[in-house]
Amino acid sequence: METGIFFVYVLFSMNLFDQSYDVPETTRLLTRGVCKLFQDLGFGTLTEFKLANGRRVDVMAIDRNGEFVIVEVKSTVADYRGDRKWQEYLAFSERFYFAVPAGFPVDMMPDDCGLIVADPYAAAVRRESMTRKLNTNRKRRQLIRFALAASSRLSHHD
């Protein structure tokens, strides 16, 4: 019950995000807030994770049970309207969310996708995602790819 209270508090304490940044910078800042949310909840996260179909997702998160969550960050309405590839991500996660800044017209977002409101420092789940079954073989291969990508990124930090 406390977790739900946390989400509500964060959501309503967020100020409208400064939209003066360009789209790539806004996306980067919102992505940072999304990653902080999932890391605070005990997930591992990778940004710009390449799927087996060649597409890159903004955020791939994995929980302690090995369930994958994909978050597609949309910083503007034009960014959302111009993106038709997000449906190709659904087969690669148990849950899928859009993350948007405060003030985004969320009524245009699909009802069957989760919704996160984010800023550079925090994020809050506004609507939970539907849970989908991920193909067992795909999940195993993706888990290995996730681990290898994380390991590679760690070795580049040394």
CB burial of residue 112 (10 Å; 0-12, 13-18, 19+):
exposed
Q: What are phi and psi of 151, to 5 degrees?
A: -65, -45
Query: What confidence tier does 125 reach under pLDDT thresholds 50, 70, 90?
Result: very high
Domain of residue 24, residue span: 2-157
Q: What is the pLDDT of residue 20?
A: 55
Q: What is the CATH number of the domain that holds 94?
A: 3.40.1350
Q: Which of 5, 38, 4 is nearest to 118 (CA)?
A: 38
Q: What is the pLDDT of residue 13?
A: 40
Q: What is the pLDDT of residue 62?
A: 98
- In the predicted model, is pLDDT for residue 14 greater than 90? no
Q: What is the pLDDT of residue 57?
A: 97
Q: What are phi and psi of 99, to 5 degrees?
A: -115, 130
Alpha carbons 128 and 142: distance in angstroms, whole number: 23
Neighbouring C-alpha atoms within 13 Å toward the C-beta of 8: 5
**148 or 13: which leads in pLDDT:** 148
Determine the residue type at 38.
Answer: F
Q: What is the pLDDT of residue 84?
A: 87
Q: How many domains are contained in the chain? A: 1
pTM of the predicted model as reported, rounded to 2 decimal places: 0.85
